[in-house]
Amino acid sequence: MDARQVTPAGADLLVASLHGSLVDPALESMNFLNEIAMRYPDAVSFASGRPCEEFFDVALLHGYLDTYCRYLAAERGYSQEQVRRLLFQYGRTKGIVHELIARNLALDEQITADPESVVVTVGCQEAMFCVLRALRRDARDVLLCVSPAYVGLTGAARLADMDVWPVASGPLGVDTGDLAAQCRRARAAGLRPRACYVMPDFANPTGVSLSVPLRRELLDRAAEEDILLLEDNPYGLFHDGEQAPTLKALDTRRQVVYLGSFAKTGFPGARVGYVVADQRVSGPDGEVMLLADYLSRIKSMLTVNTSPVAQALVGGKLLEHGCRLTAANRREYAVYRRNRGHMLDGLASRFPPEAGPARAVSWNAPRGGFFVVVTVPFAADDAILEYSASEHGVLWTPMSHFYESGAALPQLRLACSQLTADQIDTGLDRFAGLVREVCAGGQRLTAAGA
């Protein structure tokens, strides 16, 4: 299309002449949800899966930086000049806290990772993009994705021009029969399924975790289908007592690319994540390199390197807790466990089985993570969300935002990670009011034109 010929007066560019992702629902979804939260600042928000802010303290940042600098001098033998250069200059593309990350993975998750296979990224988001960019050689390469899925992943796939094929999650978290069926369908259509994105622990948005036998079956199926598994695990450490092994910990065939984030176990303001990519890639001259090394080439053209200052803060936090994020997050665990319990009890008391019109409300009860999915007897779409925010002062996330089709569904996601017990009570009272009103006929809803 020649944008100059059809651009209306007053506009300089036509969006139709730009990359398709700019008008893609996956990218608009995040903006819509952020925008509605900003318009109703007084609403209680069950929408945000942000970590709790109770323990944020600027003094901690100074401490983390000092701890990391001391470690460089004492354990790594850096001179003051080398420390200064490391923090102030451009740096190693794959990052500077890779060894601490490898130590952490061994201690917290029983993952044995060669530090050279770790690329430290600007959040997990950059890691997702780099991996997808690398896997998509041409339009025949497709990503399978357990659905519903995190919007950050679907958005990254759009930026990488990679088509996403949903795989049913079913009640157990992933339907491996459907995974095989989708691989067959894709191949029959002349396409190449390259990988399947999956969140085995307390998935966003469903809260569901895979059983250990299902994890093993998934690994076997992926091997049979000759695809990689992209394991995303930001919530795995926030469990109620039982921690299942990650796919990467069970991976004996280098099938799993592990996507890590410090957004929940560290703090999102650092914007530090990472990817473990230990797959061996053979080059044109037969030289074998780690996939991590190829990913770092992509990163070098995207963000050059992850801020060493931000890495130093995360590194300091790791060092202060013996590289155990489990130890670093004891107080946060308690908050999340309390909040989850409070929310589940609160739902049970507000929607008892014998209750009149609201009796069709049900929810799942994850044993960790940040999210609960509630099923309601009406389509929980963006219009009802808007009404819920304006008339009832409570925000949540329609589950439709996590599906490729975007079709309205009678389900919504509640997150309680960032709230106090009182706020959860107030929010649930308001939510129950909304459900009662919509179940009673929603006259006011229609009248308000929501």
Ligand X SMILES: Cc1ncc(COP(=O)(O)O)c(C=O)c1O
8 A C-beta contact, residue 348 and residue 342: no
Q: Which is nearer to ligand X, 125 or 388 (CB)?
A: 125
Q: How many residues bind ligand X (CB under 6 A)?
A: 14
Q: Which of residues 383-422 bind ligand X (CB under 6 A)?
A: none
Q: Which of residues 88-147 bind ligand X (CB under 6 A)?
A: 123-125
Indicate the helix (H) or strand (E) that contains 64: helix 58-74
Please give the backbone phi and psi of residue 156, each rounded to the nearest 5 degrees, phi first.
-60, -40
8 A C-beta contact, residue 135 and residue 163: no
Shortest CB 149 distance to ligand X, Å: 8
Identify which of 339, 322, 315 has the alpha carbon closest to the alpha carbon of residue 54. Answer: 339
Shortest CB 138 distance to ligand X, Å: 27
Indicate the helix (H) or strand (E) that contains 193: strand 192-198
Measured distance CA(410)–CA(415) in Å, rounded: 17
The residue of the chain with the least Cβ separation from ligand X equals 123
Check residue 263 for interaction with ligand X (CB under 6 A). Answer: yes
Binding-site member from 49, 95, 173, 366 for ligand X (CB under 6 A): 49
Measured distance CA(421)–CA(341) in Å, rounded: 10
Binding-site member from 273, 366, 398, 427 for ligand X (CB under 6 A): 273
Binding-site member from 67, 93, 104, 204 for ligand X (CB under 6 A): 204
Measured distance CA(143)–CA(128) in Å, rounded: 12
Contacts with ligand X, 362-381, as mask; x by CB under 6 A: --------------------
Backbone conformation region of residue 126, classed left if phi is above 0, alpha if psi is from -120 to 50, else beta: alpha
Q: Which is nearer to ligand X, 204 or 326 (CB)?
A: 204
Indicate the helix (H) or strand (E) that contains 259: strand 256-261
Identify which of 214, 187, 236 has the alpha carbon closest to the alpha carbon of residue 366. Answer: 236
Shortest CB 232 distance to ligand X, Å: 5
The residues, ordered by sequence, that sit 6+ positions from 232 with a Cβ below 8 Å of its Cβ are 124, 128, 150, 153, 197, 198, 199, 259, 261
Q: Which is nearer to ligand X, 186 or 306 (CB)?
A: 306
- b/e 119-134 (16+ beta carbons within 10 angstroms → b): bbbbbbbbbbbbbbbb
Contacts with ligand X, 6-35, as mask; x by CB under 6 A: ------------------------------
Shortest CB 71 distance to ligand X, Å: 23
Contacts with ligand X, 215-234, as mask; x by CB under 6 A: -----------------x-x
Check residue 207 for interaction with ligand X (CB under 6 A). Answer: no
Binding-site member from 25, 63, 115, 268 for ligand X (CB under 6 A): 268
Check residue 261 for interaction with ligand X (CB under 6 A). Answer: yes
Point out which residues bind ligand X (CB under 6 A). 49, 123-125, 150, 152, 199, 204, 232, 234, 261, 263, 268, 273
